[in-house]
């Protein structure tokens, strides 16, 4: 059973990301602050849930949360600052969008959420000094497999995954030959075969290895 909180702070925020390993589309993060008595049956790490269950849980999380926010960091910005930094920035931006300042932040993983701040990018949002100071002032803790241990991180993982899936479903209509509605931009055999056949799109991450070494793209 997932724990409600790590600390005794009222506004403890959980944050997580989705889409880090994809070849196309954004990396998406969400941040969530849940009330003390929050409980939803089947709440868990989004990777452990079916698409249908995630979609059913999404409105329940949003209705029950004290506040939540999500952020897409798109492929051009990923290419500019790298996927690790983009993932961290997506979570940081989501925290800044919350309607109240968190007292404490817990994040899935083993890296401090605010270890790097103020990424300079020509393709996305640049934090100002007040926003950087705001983030620096929030105590935080990284938790390995936190999305399977704490409700707020699990909730954030579900929101990040469902909002990203919505985005991929939308751009699927523009480029149906890649079948993003099914593979969501992940490096499946089908996706890579489509890249080999049709080339790349404006949504592909050009800093990633889009095809295996034995294949090459023709431009």
Per-residue pLDDT reduced to its tens digit, 106-138: 999 999 999 999 999 999 999 999 999 999 999
pLDDT digits (tens, 9 = 90+) for 159-204: 999 999 999 999 999 999 999 999 999 999 999 999 999 999 999 9
| Among 12, 5, 35, 8, residue whose Cα is nearest residue 140 | 12
Q: What pLDDT score does 139 carry?
A: 97
| Among 90, 93, 143, 85, residue whose Cα is nearest residue 115 | 85
Q: How many CB atoms lie within 10 A of CB 56?
A: 14
Q: What pLDDT score does 216 carry?
A: 52
Q: How many CB atoms lie within 10 A of CB 214?
A: 5
pLDDT digits (tens, 9 = 90+) for 59-78: 999 999 999 999 999 999 99
CA distance 134 to 185: 34
Structural domains for the chain: 12-172 (3.30.420.10)
The per-residue pLDDT of the chain, averaged, comes to 94
Please report where in the chains the tokens 């931009």 appear, as a residue.
Answer: 185
CA distance 92 to 117: 8
Q: What pLDDT score does 1 carry?
A: 85
Mean pLDDT of 75-85: 97
Q: What is the 3-state secondary structure (H, E, C) of 8-25?
A: CCCCEEEEEEECCCCCEC
The answer to whether residue 217 scores a pLDDT higher than 70 is no
Mean pLDDT of 137-164: 96
CB 5 within 8 A of CB 32: no
DSSP designation for 37: T
Task: Concatenate the DSSP letters of all residues of 38-60 into one string.
Answer: ---TT---GGGS-HHHHHHHHHH
Q: What pLDDT score does 102 carry?
A: 98
pTM of the entire predicted model: 0.94
Q: What residues does 28 pair with on adjacent strands?
A: 18, 72
The answer to whether residue 101 scores a pLDDT higher than 80 is yes
Q: What pLDDT score does 212 carry?
A: 80
Mean pLDDT of 146-169: 97
| Neighbour-count burial of 128, counting CB atoms closer than 10 A to its CB (0-12 exposed, 13-18 middle, 19+ buried) | exposed
The answer to whether residue 213 scores a pLDDT higher than 80 is no
> What percent of the residues of the chain are helix, what percent strand, and what percent coil, each to the nearest 5?
40, 15, 45
């Amino acid at each position: 059973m997932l724990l409600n909180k790590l600390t005794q702070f009222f506004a403890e925020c959980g944050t997580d990301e989705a889409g880090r390993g994809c070849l196309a589309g954004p990396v998406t993060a969400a941040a969530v602050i849940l009330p003390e008595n929050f409980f939803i049956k089947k709440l868990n790490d989004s990777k452990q849930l079916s698409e249908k269950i995630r979609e059913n849980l999404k409105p329940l999380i949003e209705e029950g949360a004290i506040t939540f926010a999500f952020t897409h960091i798109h492929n051009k910005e990923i290419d500019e600052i790298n996927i690790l930094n983009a993932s961290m920035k997506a979570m940081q931006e989501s925290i800044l969008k919350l309607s109240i300042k968190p007292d404490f932040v817990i994040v899935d993983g083993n890296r401090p959420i605010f270890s790097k701040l103020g990424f300079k990018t020509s393709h996305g949002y640049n934090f100002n000094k007040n926003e950087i100071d705001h983030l620096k002032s929030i105590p935080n803790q990284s938790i390995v497999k936190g999305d399977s241990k704490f409700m707020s991180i699990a909730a954030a993982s579900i929101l990040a995954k469902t909002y990203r899936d919505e985005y991929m479903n939308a751009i699927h209509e523009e480029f149906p030959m890649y079948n993003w509605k099914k593979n969501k931009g992940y490096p499946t055999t089908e996706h890579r075969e489509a890249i080999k056949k049709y080339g790349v799109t404006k949504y592909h991450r050009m800093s990633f290895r889009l095809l295996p070494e034995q294949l090459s793209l023709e431009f």
